């Protein structure tokens, strides 16, 4: 396959739409609601604010600017936002110059209406307008009236690139955006309305950003996109056709996707990368070509999160998921066959309008048939603007709760069996940091990392803090409820030699050492 042949990475992506650095200094706090993608957006938001002279603080009392980065995919996250913004009302009364901004999906969904509804909000900024945030904040600090800016950048998509923070090392596992928006129209989902149509980041930029992360010490990359596997870029080789894919997808054939080529380009052009993951693929694009990429590329994790949402064809049709249960199973099994030991996890909605007990039983049977090692389960909640609103919300709350509990029971059973089955095996674990229980304290010699299939493994050994960022051999000795305990299979490398401290002369000057 032809190489894309990209040149060396520029220090900062040309699409980093951060404003030029200014001498202005303001203190900011970003509070995040919702998913991993929103946490990633908050991180990029922090980069844009720092580039404009912002300094992060821990508490709203110390901030000139508080940004709520919101999510409206689930009703609960939206309610939490309202309550958190409400708590700032007394502070805003005491300090009228405090700028309160709402960003993310709720901002996009409600726009100016949010300014009218919650009077102490100064700024509403949509996901595609984050690059404008510093300029908008400066206007607010100068006394401008409340403003809403929620315009999709469909004509000229912008992707904020990672900007290293001096105060923080590169993450062991880095998140890299590959696309934004969604062209699907799943009937329960608000994302197409809050994030707009699909726009793809050029492969060259993605590769450059991954290189910068790896050069700075990152070992793993998680590619992010709403339908990450629908990726396209004319600079990559054309999509691979597959007769079986066409056969399986007569009703809604997968669009031409070059995602497998992107994976191959990353593996080829960033050899220092230890692990590559992606989330979330749409099952429609889980093509034969993607399965081949899993078979070919050692760097790809042996785990795929493949959202299914329901095991009933009737419900899948009403959800407008554009695949049948049989198609999902065929694609999932093809991925599992491609790489020995590959595991799957998923997302499931219970209590979708019209879901009968029989529909739900089919979901449970699908969970067992595939053998998901973990899953995220949610009760259906009606979201504004979505087609499913027309279907009503006819499954009683108690039934939804009861089905969710039954779903989790099966998930726990399958998850426990998976973890138990790993006891006694040898695994390669990428150590990510201190174990959660140690609250970031590496000196306690208890670290955690992930296997190539994403299981969490805790390792306790003298000096284990030195293993962060390394892939180490581990024997699994115990299965906990949601994680594993492992022992190193080879001794810890010797600690680095201490850096010589220049001796001080009696007069207090540092002695110059010879330079060879």
Q: Is 283 in the site for ligand SF4 (CB under 6 A)?
A: no
Which one of 45-53, 188-196, 407-415, 458-466 is the stretch in contact with ligand SF4 (CB under 6 A)? 188-196
Query: Using the rule CB under 6 A, which residue among 32, 42, 194, 226 binds ligand SF4?
Result: 226
Q: Is 184 in the site for ligand SF4 (CB under 6 A)?
A: yes
Which C-beta is closer to ligand SF4: that of 189 or that of 373? 189
Q: Cα–Cα distance between 170 and 214 in angstroms, integer?
A: 9
Q: Is 388 in the site for ligand SF4 (CB under 6 A)?
A: no
Alpha carbons within 13 angstroms on the beta-carbon side of residue 283 total 29
Query: Using the rule CB under 6 A, which residue among 136, 174, 191, 274 binds ligand SF4?
Result: 191
Which C-beta is closer to ligand SF4: that of 189 or that of 335? 189
Answer for the pair 54, 26: CB distance below 8 angstroms, yes or no: yes
Q: Is 189 in the site for ligand SF4 (CB under 6 A)?
A: yes
State the minimum distance, in angstroms, from the CB of residue 388 to ligand SF4.
11
Q: Is 182 in the site for ligand SF4 (CB under 6 A)?
A: yes
3-state secondary structure at position 317: helix
State the minimum distance, in angstroms, from the CB of residue 183 to ligand SF4.
8
Which C-beta is closer to ligand SF4: that of 192 or that of 486? 192
Q: Is 186 in the site for ligand SF4 (CB under 6 A)?
A: yes
State the minimum distance, in angstroms, from the CB of residue 386 to ligand SF4.
9
Structure-block tokens of residue 225: 């996109």
Count the site residues for ligand SF4 by CB under 6 A. 9
Which C-beta is closer to ligand SF4: that of 54 or that of 192? 192
Answer for the pair 382, 388: CB distance below 8 angstroms, yes or no: yes
State the minimum distance, in angstroms, from the CB of residue 458 to ligand SF4.
33
Q: Give the number of other CB atoms < 10 A from CB of residue 413.
A: 12
3-state secondary structure at position 180: strand
303-305 and 26-32 beta bridge pairing: unpaired
Q: Is 192 in the site for ligand SF4 (CB under 6 A)?
A: yes
Three-state SS string over 109-165 comes to HHCHHHHHHCCCCCEEECHHHHHHHHHHHHHHHCCCCCEEECCCCCCCCCCCCCCCC
Rounded to 10 degrees, the C-alpha dihedral 65/201/298/308 comes to 80
Q: Give the number of other CB atoms < 10 A from CB of residue 391.
A: 17
Contacts with 221 (C-beta within 8 Å, 6 or more apart), sequence order = 173, 174, 175, 176, 210, 213, 214, 266, 273, 275, 276, 277
Count, residues in the chain: 516
Which C-beta is closer to ligand SF4: that of 183 or that of 402? 183
Which one of 189-197, 292-300, 355-363, 440-448 is the stretch in contact with ligand SF4 (CB under 6 A)? 189-197
Q: Is 265 in the site for ligand SF4 (CB under 6 A)?
A: no
Q: Is 227 in the site for ligand SF4 (CB under 6 A)?
A: yes
Query: Using the rule CB under 6 A, which residue among 201, 264, 275, 282 binds ligand SF4?
Result: 282
Residue numbers of the site for ligand SF4 (CB under 6 A)?
Answer: 182, 184, 186, 189, 191-192, 226-227, 282
């Amino acid at each position: 396959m032809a190489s894309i042949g990209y040149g060396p990475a520029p220090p900062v992506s040309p699409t980093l739409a951060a404003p030029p650095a200014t001498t202005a200094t303001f203190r900011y706090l970003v509070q995040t609601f919702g998913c991993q993608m929103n946490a990633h957006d908050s991180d990029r938001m922090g980069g844009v604010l720092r580039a404009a002279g912002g300094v992060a603080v821990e508490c709203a009392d110390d901030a000139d600017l508080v940004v709520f980065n919101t999510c409206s995919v689930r009703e609960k996250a939206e309610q939490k936002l309202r309550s958190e913004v409400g708590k700032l009302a007394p502070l805003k009364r005491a300090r009228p110059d405090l700028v309160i901004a709402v960003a993310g999906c709720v901002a996009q969904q409600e726009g100016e209406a949010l300014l009218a509804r919650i009077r102490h909000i100064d700024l509403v900024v949509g996901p595609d307008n984050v690059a404008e945030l510093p300029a908008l904040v400066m206007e607010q600090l100068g006394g401008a009236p409340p403003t809403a800016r929620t315009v999709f950048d469909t004509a000229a998509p912008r992707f904020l690139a990672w900007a290293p923070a001096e105060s923080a090392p590169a993450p062991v596992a880095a998140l890299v955006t590959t696309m934004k928006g969604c062209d699907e129209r799943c009937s329960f989902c608000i994302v197409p309305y809050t994030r707009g149509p699909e726009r793809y980041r050029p492969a060259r930029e993605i590769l450059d950003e991954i290189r910068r992360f790896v050069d700075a010490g990152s070992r793993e990359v998680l590619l992010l996109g709403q339908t990450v596997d629908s990726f396209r870029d004319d600079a990559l080789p054309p999509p691979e056709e597959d007769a079986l894919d066409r056969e399986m997808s007569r009703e809604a054939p997968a669009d031409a996707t070059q995602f497998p080529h992107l994976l191959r380009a990353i593996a080829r052009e960033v050899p220092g990368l230890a692990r590559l993951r992606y989330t979330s693929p749409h099952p429609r694009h889980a093509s034969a070509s993607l399965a081949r990429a899993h078979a070919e590329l050692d760097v790809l994790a042996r785990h795929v999160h493949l959202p299914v949402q329901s095991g009933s064809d009737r419900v899948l049709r009403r959800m407008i998921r554009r695949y049948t249960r049989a198609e999902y199973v065929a694609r999932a099994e093809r991925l599992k066959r491609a790489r020995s030991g590959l595991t799957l996890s998923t997302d499931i909605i219970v209590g979708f309008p019209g879901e009968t007990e029989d529909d739900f039983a089919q979901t449970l049977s699908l969970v067992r048939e595939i053998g998901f090692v973990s899953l995220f389960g949610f009760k259906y909640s009606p979201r504004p603007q979505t087609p499913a609103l027309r279907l009503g919300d006819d499954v009683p709350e108690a039934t939804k709760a009861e089905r969710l509990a039954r779903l989790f029971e099966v998930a726990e059973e399958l998850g426990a069996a998976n973890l138990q089955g790993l006891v006694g095996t040898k695994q390669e674990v990428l150590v990510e940091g201190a174990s959660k229980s140690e609250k970031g304290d590496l000196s306690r010699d208890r670290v955690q990392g992930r296997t190539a299939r994403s299981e969490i493994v805790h390792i306790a050994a003298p000096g284990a803090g030195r293993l962060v960022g390394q892939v180490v051999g581990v024997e699994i000795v115990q299965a906990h409820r949601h994680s594993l305990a492992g022992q190193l299979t080879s001794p810890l490398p010797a600690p680095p030699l201490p850096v010589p401290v220049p001796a001080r002369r009696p007069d207090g000057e540092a002695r110059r050492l010879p330079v060879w």
